[in-house]
Amino acid sequence: MIEFIRNLEYKNPYFAWLLMFIPLLLLIYGLSIYLRNRNLSRFGDIKLIGRLMPLASKYRGWVKISTVCTAILFFTFALMQPRLGQVIAEVKSKGAEVIIALDVSNSMLATDFSPSRLERSKLAIARLVEALKEDRIGLIVFAGDAYVQLPVTTDYMSAKSFLNAINTGIVSRQGTDMSKAIALAMKSFSSQSENSRAMIIITDGENQEGNPVEMAEIAHRDGITVHTVGIGSTDGAPIIFADGSMLKDKSGEIVMSRLDQNTLKLVASAGGGTATVASQSDLGLNSIIQNIKDMEKKELLSTEFRSYYEYFHIPLTLALLLLVLDVFILERKNRILQNFSIFKTQF
């Protein structure tokens, strides 16, 4: 039992502050008893007065207040929602695996797309997630380096949650290295998704490093279809940081970030996918979504669904039972039962 209680975790631990009322109630009740006895002592000896009040009980009041305090204890634990462990359920689905690689370099802060290229991309990805049904989705962020933000999963709620946390500071090394993102995606697909893999790269393509075209060819030979979505304008736009300042070059001129459409076309062509350019009204994902739906669907086994065993109902039930019991506990002795004792000895 001790080990079981020790392993419990609480969904709402901040309700524990309610426990401070327990010693406070006991202190207030003890003080009231002390003041009552002190006032009674003015009229005579406390023991003699006690004999004159045979129905008065010395302990029933403490039993009642202890019952209420214990009920508060259990009720607080119920509010904290104790739970134990995680249950991992295997879920079978038939679909494709889609990994989205999102550029988080500083150039994605350009404002030719409102409120910025990055925020507009996140909104479009959220819509893409809603359009997917049984497909598994993963998320990679990249700039000068690439990192897995979310492994491939069918948990679309988690995908949206991880998406909201993305910003340009999530990757410390600046730049735009699509080749690293493609290489990381190749390692992130599961072995069971062969011939049903797709990668969507959302970027402005500016300041390109590495050799993304060659890497896209390698990925395509590995059964991965590489799509690109170019976001930005060829006219360019300034890069505005959160504090309102603009990115400037060494000479003090404002840097204008421009879309490198040609590189994105070459990458998509090498990856066997499609290259689209985002517009103000549409990020151009509709054709890519249709392409993914037309892909060969594989039966995928997912173990991403997690839930907890909830135990809040146990302390809640105990608290309610104690409150009901408190109603039947009287502070005065029962006139009928006061002389009854199972331990009384007959002489």
pLDDT band with cut points at 50, 70 and 90 for residue 185: very high
Please state, in angstroms and rounded to a whole number, the distance separating the CA atoms of residues 164 and 166. Answer: 6
Give strand ranges (E) for 165-320: 197-203, 224-230, 237-238, 256-257, 272-277, 298-310
Flag whether pLDDT at 305 surpasses 50: no
Hey, what are 218's tokens? 């390698």
Flag whether pLDDT at 86 surpasses 80: no
Secondary-structure breakdown of the chain: helix, strand, coil percentages, each rounded to the nearest 5: 45, 25, 30
Task: Give per-residue pLDDT as tens, 16-52.
Answer: 999 999 999 999 988 988 887 777 677 666 666 556 5
Hey, what are 157's tokens? 């709620």
> What pLDDT does 139 receive?
93
Least confident interval from 98-107, 284-293, 312-321 = 284-293
In the chain, CATH 3.40.50.410 sits at: 89-304
Quick one: CATH architecture of 89-304? 3-Layer(aba) Sandwich (3.40)
Task: Give per-residue pLDDT as tens, 238-284.
Answer: 888 878 788 887 788 888 888 888 999 999 999 999 998 888 777 77
> What is the mean pLDDT of the segment spanning 298-304?
52
> What pLDDT does 27 receive?
92
Put simply, whether the predicted model's pTM sits higher than 0.85 gets the answer no
Task: Give per-residue pLDDT as tens, 165-183.
Answer: 898 888 888 888 899 999 9
> What is the mean pLDDT of the segment spanning 100-122?
90
pLDDT band with cut points at 50, 70 and 90 for residue 84: confident
Q: 3 vs 23, which has greater pLDDT?
A: 23
CB neighbour burial string for 95-106, b if at least 16 within 10 angstroms, e if fewer: bbbbbbbbbbbb
